[in-house]
Structure 1
């Protein structure tokens, strides 16, 4: 049963990965769901099913597309999803004989690291020459800005050239890409875990998500990433991507903080609806505030989850 599930999940994931070559908006949406089958297989049938799915999807990509496409699928989509699922089901016995599951805050840091590596890997797939990479990114930004100016979505001062502005903004693009990868991975992980939980196959009890706190050492990592982002070349790309990824992680921690602090309050529902609507409408303004809330929460490290029922750990190896 496990090999069949793994092979099926790998083929579906590879198909979702491959449709991006069509370039349509729907294709990009399907591409973002490529890790989902791997997550479901690894969470519901243990991590070995995830490895089988990785191998099956990579082989299918090599046969149907090219060796490089199959390798990219394995490195950018499948192996990261397998590793995150492996960590999510990692457990050890605590002092009372119950199961102590891998903390969500630590899992988020791993997701940030994987998002940064994926960002750099995607850039290197495009080209191994940094000047060429920056030129391509600047051209994409220039086309986008030109279209926005032409459609009158934005107005630029007369002395500002679109090409120069695009070249200035290019180094910041990895920050957004790293953050978007974190959001995509977290969304796929949550959907997969919820689906597996509904099916009754999730080995660990559903975690108390509002208690999620990012470990303090992630702040040191954020400082190092910001310093590295000032360097040139792909090292700077890696630093910028890690900066964006960690800020996205702290944003999720900030959302968890709001969920936790509003528990039991009569105005909880309207408050949460307002926050999510504001995040959708004013993302550029609210995201930094939520990240700041997550950073403060990490410094305080004060929130704890209610005691879960004692569940013996599942074998993970």
Structure 2
């Protein structure tokens, strides 16, 4: 067997075993399961799309043999297939019209595919649970309310009305939270894998500059439809709101690109970005503003205006020569 085949098989097998640790009764096992796509991305960015396809098939087989057919299906759909697709797209490139540079598949398009995948998976789950009484949200709320009842009974207390209302609201947001977590898992593992590949000189493509990340305008139209539909009542409104959150996700990275580009105008950009990300981590809600920044840039050309400031600095200071 070739090195590519052996590496792909080994990465897939280990990735599947990491994924199956989610069944262990330990909080640390969740971290291992969360990192299970890392090896798929690493072998893909290092050896190519064929290697990650071998890893996907091997991992699915190992998940079936070490777990069950349901484990294999979940691993393939949630981890392996998305990683294989994103690696395949990431390694696509073309030569610029002047023939001087290589243009790689844009990261904004990758994020759009990821958001589309989250939306499709969500709709598949909706269709699957539609056979049950009340559908997905009724099942989630009933499950969470039963957990609250169990914990309350253990403490010889009855759950308050306020707590039950909070659980009902949380259950309506749970599909969106799970979908965002799933997308973040692939983004984090993909970036870690590419960073490792670059560190050891294995990478088949360079890292992208977040300051140049842009999402396609078609995503905005899809998001506008989802937001408009979010005001519908009952199931349709909940479904539209959830999908709107998925489609808003790529705009967070577009907004972060604007922040990074703006930070390059000042000398203390590292400290500025450190404070910014610290506040983002602590508060959380500014992510909405960041996503809004990405949406505004798509129509107002903020990136172009900031780049113009860097190209024509005042006071004779060429900030455009500084690199992050």
Shorter-chain TM-score: what band? 0.7 to 0.9
Q: What corresponds to 1:152 in structure 2?
A: none
Alpha-carbon distance in 1 for matches of 2:239, 2:120: 7
Q: What corresponds to 1:3 in structure 2?
A: 5
Q: What corresponds to 2:297 in structure 1?
A: 297
> Are the counterparts in 1 of residues 115 and 183 from structure 2 also a CA contact under 8 Å?
yes
Q: CA deviation at 1:85?
A: 0.9
Distance 1:168 1:56, change over 3 A: same
Alpha-carbon distance in 2 for matches of 1:225, 1:148: 37
1:37-75 Cα distance to aligned partner (Å, 9 max, x none)? 111111111101111011001111111111121122111
1:68-124 Cα distance to aligned partner (Å, 9 max, x none)? 211221111100011011111111122112322111111111121123334455667
Q: CA deviation at 1:182?
A: 2.1
1:244-294 Cα distance to aligned partner (Å, 9 max, x none)? 2222221122112111111141231222111111111101x2111111111
Structure ranking higher on relative contact order (CA contacts 8 Å, 6+ apart): 1
Q: What corresponds to 2:257 in structure 1?
A: 256
Provide the TM-score with structure 2 as the length reference: 0.81
Alpha-carbon distance in 1 for matches of 2:251, 2:170: 23
Tell me, what secondary structure is at the counterpart of 1:204?
A: coil
Tell me, what secondary structure is at the counterpart of 1:265?
A: coil
> Are the counterparts in 2 of residues 178 and 242 from structure 1 also a CA contact under 8 Å?
no
Distance 1:4 1:66, change over 3 A: same
Q: CA deviation at 1:8?
A: 0.7
Alpha-carbon distance in 2 for matches of 1:130, 1:120: 17
> Are the counterparts in 2 of residues 172 and 240 from structure 1 also a CA contact under 8 Å?
no
Tell me, what secondary structure is at the counterpart of 1:266?
A: coil
Root-mean-square deviation (CA, aligned residues, Å) is 3.0
1:79 aligns with 2:81: yes
Q: CA deviation at 1:199?
A: 1.9
Provide the TM-score with structure 1 as the length reference: 0.82
Q: CA deviation at 1:224?
A: 2.3
**Where do 5+ consecutive residues of structure 1 fail to align?**
150-155, 307-317
Distance 1:88 1:238, change over 3 A: farther
Alpha-carbon distance in 2 for matches of 1:249, 1:88: 16
1:136-189 Cα distance to aligned partner (Å, 9 max, x none)? 42245547888999xxxxxx9x8x443244234422222222222222211111
> Are the counterparts in 2 of residues 141 and 170 from structure 1 also a CA contact under 8 Å?
yes
Tell me, what secondary structure is at the counterpart of 2:103?
A: strand
Q: Please point out which of 94, 97, 116 is paired with 1:95.
A: 97
Name which one, 1 or 2, has greater alpha-carbon Rg.
Answer: 2
